Homo-oligomer: A and B are copies of this chain.
């Protein structure tokens, strides 16, 4: 804001000056050559080494853009490096070590010593987010974390900046690439076990995949998104989650006959003046913007009255992709101040919400069975939208989609149906996201 500099032709030096008046306390010599911007790197695994390589590759372009050439000035790994020494020689810290400790202690120390911090650590933000946000506010430093949720998909920035003033109603996200890959393979006919092996073979799943397939990883990310979008300080314990281990590929085949595809969906939405955040496998109609997100991609749909909806998708993981998201944050740290995060404010967590359901059950193939099942559903308030019935030996397989009702009432209906003398197996239930789009 310097209208008095209003004459003459712009030169790179003036550009640089215009940019740097915005960053107090970091004045560089305006006459001299562009200074470097020193970055302390915590962690040097897949993402850490990819970040260091990408930073070097793009350093010249970033210098042209911001006037400062970023450079890794120190690295802390399990085997070596001294945190205080690294902090003494850098302006910003990039935390890519993962896990809760010592990451939490290191990040807090970096913040307390006035360093901006960029992290890709979703567990850390989910468990200790409020403490870190508060520390960053108190010390006037930036805490950026685009890479912690949905890889390169720019959902954190879009929520914090583009939609900072929007009244967000709902977020639906596919925020775990491992499970999306497995479900895509199951849709092609593979069993859960074979799809998981294939994911492991291709590097999309860990040897121990439980964090991903249990829905815990997605739940942590949804807690972070809910924090940004709704200002509610949530931890992992506030996010009921269900994984994909119990899914069977015949559910996917039946659902296809109803025009439905299966995804592991994280939802955060306003309901009855409170907030409902959860992660569940859910069926989507073909027109839903998340229905076509295949393989290991992530995607997030944000809905609000004024914007209708925005959907963003991209690779959910990968060392170089995650490093790119970190790099975008680093450039903002170099050139922009932190966008304001809406103040945190506890919202009531609603845990019994309405949903449509897919119901799969095996029953004795006798007259009156469908009527009995339909009556129980009716008594619990479930209205049937579509039914498929198939004979299998002496049994019948009944597959239904029911219109939205409270989860607790659906659970009660399923319990009652499972206790019928004609029931041949425990009914299986999967949520259906009912909106059809456009």
Contact = CB atoms under 8 A, between A and B. Distances in A.
Interface of A: 1-3, 5-10, 12, 14-15, 18-19, 21-26, 54, 58, 61-62, 64-66, 112-114, 134, 137-141, 146, 152-154, 157-158, 161-167, 184, 287, 289, 291-292, 294-297, 304-315, 318, 320-321, 323-325, 327-328, 330-332, 335-337, 339-340, 342-343, 437-438
Nearest to A306: B324
Given A12-B343, A22-B22, 4 more contacts: A1-B140, A6-B114, A65-B340, A163-B328
B157 A65 contact: no
A136 to B, nearest CB: 10
20 contacts: A1-B23, A1-B25, A2-B140, A6-B139, A19-B337, A21-B24, A58-B166, A61-B167, A154-B310, A161-B336, A164-B335, A165-B330, A166-B327, A292-B292, A304-B324, A306-B324, A308-B321, A309-B315, A336-B337, A337-B337
A323 B315 CA distance: 30
A65 B338 CA distance: 12
Contacts of A10: 134, 137-138
Nearest to A312: B312
Contacts of A304: 324
Contact of A340 (B140, B146, B318, B335): B335
A114 B1 contact: yes
Given A65-B342, A331-B161, A331-B164, A311 B310 contact: no
Given A22-B337, A306-B323, A320-B306, A112 B165 contact: no
Nearest to A16: B340
Contacts of A26: 1
Given A3-B114, A3-B140, A314 B309 contact: yes
